[in-house]
Every structure is written in C-alpha cells, then in structure tokens.
Structure 1
Amino acid sequence: MKKFGKVLAFILVTVFVLAGCAGGAKESKKTETVKLGVVGANNEVWESVKEQLKKENINLEIVEFSDYTQPNAALSEKEIDLNSFQHQIFLDNYNLEHKTDLVSIGNTVSAPLGIYSDKLKDVKELKDGAEIAIPNDATNGGRALLLLQTAGLIKVDPAKKQTPTVNDITENKQKLKITELDASQTARALQDIDASVINSGMAVDAGLVPNKDAIFLEPVDETSKPYVNIIVAREADKDNAVYKKIVEAYQQDGTKKVIKETSKGASIPAWETFGKN
C-alpha cells in the first residue's frame, strides 16, 4: 500500500506539472491586439507588416483617419495604441500645443514633399501672380514654404528655421499667391490652381507618382532628417516589448520591397539612412 501510495503521489505530481506547462504554453500563445492609427487609404506597407506580426501572436489592427488632426488626439486619449503618419517636427509641435507626451519609438520612411501641377511641367513655367496651395498646419506649411524656397520661388526668414509661415516670406518677386489648405485638400485643388505642394502619402492616394509627376521634388539629405516619418507611442509605453516587436517587423528587408512598390520609389526606408530611432 505504501508503494502504491508513492506511485499515486508521483502520478498526481506529474499530472499537475504537465497541466501547468500546458497552461503556460497556452498562455504564451495568447494573441495581443494593438491598434495603429494611420492617415489615408494607402496602407499596403502596414498590411504586409501585419502579416509578419501574426507569427509573433500580435494582431495589428489598422485604424484609418482622414486627416492629420485626429491620430495624435486618439493616441493621447488611449483610443489607439500607436500611430504612424507624421514626422518629428509635427510631433514636437503637437506636444507643445496640446501639452501631451507622445514619443517616437522608430523610424519608418523618408517621403519627399513635392510641387505638383495639372497645367505646368516645370516650376520655371509659373507666371507672375500664379496661385500655389500649401498645407495649412504649422509644420507641413513651413516645410512647404522651405520647398518653394529651395525651388527658387520665394525666400523666407531663416530665423524661423523649420516652421516659417506665409508672414515670414521675405522675398516674392513673382507675387505668387500662397493659399493655405488642409493637407487632405491640396491634391484635390490641383484643377483649380496653378500648383500645389502635396505630402507624399496624399499624392500617392490621389494617383500621383511623386518621382514622375512632381514638377519639383524635395531633395533627400541631412536636412531631411527632421521630416523622417515615425512610429509614435505614449511616453509611458516607449519601452513596451510588443511595440518594439512591431518596430522590428517594420524595419525589415521585406518591408523595403513593399515600400518601393507602393510608393513608386518615392519613399525611402529611413532606418537605413537615418538610423532605426
């Protein structure tokens, strides 16, 4: 009987241990859902990353927003977990204005800003008094003005650095009319104006090919670093292990191929040029 008791005890212990291991294994396979906010409908890159993340038991839920004003508010209010639509200057300005603590956790792409026109083939064809649309938010508007300066169309106050406004234009020999529009409207306005400065994502969504259709494209060099697109989280979540896996899944060779195909070569993998963070 003693012997039988020992055998029975051994069997029971073994069963409990195996059950515990099975439970732990089952729990380790639990899928975690992460909501990622984006702007626009051109999200093939993130869809490919989403497929990769399934191997890590991460369900990436892509939440689309129609303009740049919404994703940071949604992230701050914990309606989403991450977002990916903006560059560092835009984020810095948002944090300053709204007293939020959102932070970058990884670089995605460098997407050059472009000047587009339905009527012209070159910026040199712009006539005196021509109308040019630019985004109306502080950071993209400033970037657009700097692009017009690089194109030789205007000059702005250098003291304003990356965020000049139309009031900081110091030279406008052609008396160009600068019209400020919501970034989502800059592509739609092409039929009504002479030229428009359009963000790369908005241009692609509108069926434009930046490398082909832009009459002037922003150069990619060290001055482009502040405009690298980023993945953003709340400051309290900057070291979240799951979010880090999402960044790692994005910064892969497979993602590079999708970026090249979907952006028609206009977007550049920023983690190779400017680092992963």
Structure 2
Amino acid sequence: MMKKWIVAMILLLTVGVLAACGGGGNNSDQKADGSDQKQETKKIVVGASAVPHAEILEHVKDKLKEQGVEMEVKVFDDYVLPNTALEEKQIDANYFQTVPYLDEFNKKHNTHIKALDGIHLEPMGLYPGKEKAAEPKNGAVIAIPDDVSNGARALKLIESKGWIKLTPGKELNSLSKQDIVENPHNIQIKEMQASMLPRAINEVDYAVINGNYAMEGGLTFDQALAVEKKDSDAAKTFANIVAVKEGDENREEIKKLIEVLKSEDVKKFIDEKYKGAVIPVF
C-alpha cells in the first residue's frame, strides 16, 4: 500500500514539473515573438548646410524616428567638407548640393558619391553691393561663386539682366567668364568661395549668391535685382539632392529618409517657412 502511494506521488510531481516546464516554454516563446516584432532603431548621420537643409532635416527627425531611424544632423559651412566626410564614411549621407556640382566634385577629387532624389531648389539672386543702380556703371565688379556649376548659373543670371552675353548654345554647366562674348559695361567678374559672398557683398558692386547663403546672410529676395525663375533651364538643372557613398543607395534607412523628405508635410513646411526663397521640386 505504501509503495502504491509513493508511486502515485512521484507521478503527480512529474506531471506538475512537466506542466511547469511547458508553461515556461510558452512564455519564453511569447517573449521571443515579442522581441522579434519590436522594430530595431538604426542611426544615421546626415551632413547639411545650415539653411535650409539642416532646418528641413530637423523638421523630419520625429517622422523618421517613427519609422525606426534616428538621425543626427551635422552642419557644415562649406561645399567641400560634406563630400569628403561622406567619401570617408564619417557620415551616412549629405544634403546640400546639386548634381552638376557633385559630378564636378567627383571628377576633381576622385570621389565615389552618388546622387539620389532632388528635394528643393534655392534660386540664385543678383544682389546690389556698393552699387544700388539697376544698371551697372562702367567697370562694375560682380562677385560670383568660384565653383564651375554655381559660377555658370551666376553668369546666366547676369545675362538674363542684359548686362552681358555668353557663348550661345554652350552647355550650361561648362560656361565660364571666358564665355562672355559681349560686355558693354566692361563688367569685371570676381570669383569667390560661395559661402563668403554675403560677407563680401559690400566690397563689390554686385554679387550673385546662392539662396542658402543669402538667407544665412540676412538677404531677402525683395532686395535682389534678378532671381532665377522656377521654370528656367538653370532651375531645372540645379535641384538640391540627397547624396550617399556609392553602394549605400539601397540602404533601407536612406530610403526612409528620402520618403519623409518628399512628403506633403515637407512641401508645406518649405512653402510656409521660406516663402519662395526655397522651392520644393517633388
């Protein structure tokens, strides 16, 4: 009788242990399932000019985080370091430049950076400096950016005012001051680093300045004597893009960044904040 009682107790204890183990296994599976479903947050660093690029990126930070991507915005104050940092993989993407500028940069520096989607256009403006007149005096000095693509844009804008004439039929991005074929006012073109132009404007008679640097320098479009039109050839060519190191263009977090940048929310933000000084192109 005692033996039967002992056997029964052993059986009951065994069943209880198995049941407990089985229950623990189910809970463990549920936890595993739960952790699998939890979205992993990835981090990216994006280089940008302060205005408007960094401001636009800051605007989409929360939306991007909702999609599992945490973004750090690194501000650069020139047009060279954001590309060298990208080439050296110190950052994951940048947002500050145009396709012609990037093409020129890749050739000059043997870098391997790829252009992705265009986000906005910053129309260039021709601003008065020491001279305020709508027509330049003889020998007037006009400062323009010293890089090929922005310099060509500047020359086309000066030509649109009728102040000079350029070699007809030449590809826009290959124009230089040597292509001035008519110069009735004997205008002197002074090439300078683009970021320096707002600070140097009172040292020259006029200056053609990129939209982002004009805004940083406190200049407004109503001060400009001429502005690139949205439907001009220059405007169509010089949209500001997101760029990555070759091989990174299919990274999921980069695709998500572009998706939030090309949203209706961003279009509304650009229109309301910049009032025509920045124009969405998507």
TM-score for the superposition, normalised by structure 2: 0.88
Letter in 2 for 1:215: L
Partner of 1:201: 212
Q: Deviation per CA, 1:2-60, whole angstroms, max 9, x where unpaired?
A: 6445523421320220221233244x2x3222111112354322211112212123221
Residue 22 (str. 1) matches residue 22 (str. 2): no
1:195 Cα deviation from its structure 2 partner: 0.7
Partner of 1:78: 89
Does 155-164 or 30-39 show the bigger shift? 155-164
Partner of 2:197: 186
Secondary structure of the 2:173 match is coil
Partner of 1:275: none
Letter in 2 for 1:147: L
Letter in 1 for 2:83: N
Match of 1:177 among 181, 188, 201: 188
TM-score for the superposition, normalised by structure 1: 0.90
Partner of 1:11: 23
Partner of 2:136: 126
Partner of 1:265: 276
Q: Structure 2: how far apart are the matches of 1:216 and 1:120? A: 14
Q: Structure 2: how far apart are the matches of 1:239 and 1:84? A: 17
Letter in 2 for 1:234: K
Q: Contact (CA 8 Å) 1:102, 1:233: kept in 2 or not?
A: yes
Q: Structure 2: how far apart are the matches of 1:8 and 1:33? A: 41
Q: Contact (CA 8 Å) 1:44, 1:262: kept in 2 or not?
A: no
Letter in 2 for 1:246: L
1:190 Cα deviation from its structure 2 partner: 1.4
Letter in 2 for 1:79: Q
Letter in 2 for 1:253: E
Q: Structure 2: how far apart are the matches of 1:94 and 1:191? A: 30
Q: Deviation per CA, 1:128-152, whole angstroms, max 9, x where unpaired?
A: 1111000001111111112112221
Instruction: Please give the residue correspondences for 1:226-265 in structure 2 after superposition, counting only pairs within 5 Å.
Output: 226-265=237-276
Q: Aligned in 2, Cα 1:180/1:221: closer, same or farther, shift over 3 Å?
A: same
The answer for unaligned runs of 5 or more in structure 2 is: 1-10
Percent of paired sites with the same residue: 33
Q: Contact (CA 8 Å) 1:83, 1:233: kept in 2 or not?
A: yes
Letter in 1 for 2:29: V
Q: Structure 1: how far apart are the matches of 2:278 and 2:20? A: 66
Does 218-227 or 69-78 show the bigger shift? 218-227
Does 213-222 or 75-84 show the bigger shift? 213-222
Q: Structure 2: how far apart are the matches of 1:93 and 1:133? A: 21
Residue 147 (str. 1) matches residue 157 (str. 2): yes
Root mean square deviation of aligned Cα: 1.9
Secondary structure of the 1:225 match is helix
Letter in 2 for 1:151: K
Partner of 2:6: none
Match of 1:101 among 94, 99, 112: 112
Q: Contact (CA 8 Å) 1:35, 1:82: kept in 2 or not?
A: yes
1:71 Cα deviation from its structure 2 partner: 0.6
Does 12-21 or 132-141 show the bigger shift? 12-21
Secondary structure of the 2:229 match is coil
Partner of 1:216: 226
Letter in 1 for 2:20: L
1:111 Cα deviation from its structure 2 partner: 1.3
The answer for unaligned runs of 5 or more in structure 1 is: 272-277
Partner of 2:42: 32
Q: Contact (CA 8 Å) 1:37, 1:65: kept in 2 or not?
A: yes
Letter in 2 for 1:258: F
Q: Contact (CA 8 Å) 2:51, 2:215: kept in 1 or not?
A: no
Match of 1:54 among 65, 69, 85: 65
1:92 Cα deviation from its structure 2 partner: 1.0
Secondary structure of the 1:148 match is helix
1:118 Cα deviation from its structure 2 partner: 3.9
1:168 Cα deviation from its structure 2 partner: 2.1
Over alpha carbons, which structure has the higher Rg?
2
Q: Structure 2: how far apart are the matches of 1:204 and 1:167? A: 29
Q: Structure 2: how far apart are the matches of 1:196 and 1:55? A: 43
1:120 Cα deviation from its structure 2 partner: 5.1
Secondary structure of the 1:94 match is helix
